Amino acid sequence: MDGFMGKRVGRLDAKKRIVVPLEYRELLGPEKRVVVVRSIESCVLLLPLDYWARVRRGIVRPSFLNEEASVFRRLLMSEAEDVALDKAGRIRIPDSLLVRAGIVTAAVFVGQGEYLELWSAERWDLFVREHDANYPELGKKFNFLIEGEPDNGAET
């Protein structure tokens, strides 16, 4: 698999662990760890360590004198956790992040290329219902270009 894509359904066990699907585990490298952080949406982000390193550098770049950047950095970093997968491929998401995302039992892993999102099944279904009709317009608006391809004439 070339990057995290697709969606897979999982369930929290009694100890609030969830099995990371095998095809996603294979993309995590030999360390089999992720950094879990809150999202600006109603889900949890699972960031491979190399991607997290890039995100972290971007987060610390704005000066501590920039109040909005400092607030965002504090809120994000205060709940960030480095989590290792166990031998069965399970991770334990911190309770605070599970509560924020509304994840109780059923959850959906959603591939985002370089990282994963973890949604409650209910919130994922709601998200799709709310946004699916806008999919064609969003594609035009954001002019997603294929690397190496000429501009396709989409709106910018």
Measured distance CA(64)–CA(42) in Å, rounded? 27
pLDDT at 62 over 80: no
65, part of any domain:
yes
> Within a domain: residue 94?
yes
Residue 107 counted as domain residue: yes
Query: What is the Cα–Cα distance from 59 to 70, expressed in whole angstroms?
Result: 9
CATH value at residue 96: 3.40.1550.20
Q: Which domain holds residue 93?
A: 7-142
Q: Does residue 153 lie within any of the structural domains?
A: no
For residue 40, being part of any structural domain is answered with yes
CA neighbor of 108 nearest in space, from 96, 126, 95, 81: 126
Query: In this structure, is residue 53 part of a structural domain?
Result: yes
Residue range 65-111, pLDDT digits in tens: 778 888 888 888 889 999 999 999 999 999 999 999 999 999 999 99
Three-state SS at 80: coil
Which pLDDT band holds residue 156 (cuts at 50, 70, 90)? very low
Q: What is the pLDDT of residue 145?
A: 59
- Residue 151 in domain: no
How far apart are the C-alpha atoms of 53 and 75, rounded to whole Å? 17
Give dist(CA 3, CA 24) in Å, integer. 8
Residue 154 belongs to some domain of the structure: no
Q: In what order do the strands lie in the sheet with 33-38?
A: 7-11, 106-111, 116-120, 44-48, 33-38, 81-84
CA distances from 48 to 29, 112, 143 (A): 8, 12, 27
Query: What is the tally of structural domains in the chain?
Result: 1
pLDDT in tens, 24-46: 999 998 889 999 999 999 999 99
For the record, the structure tokens of 144 come out as 């997603």
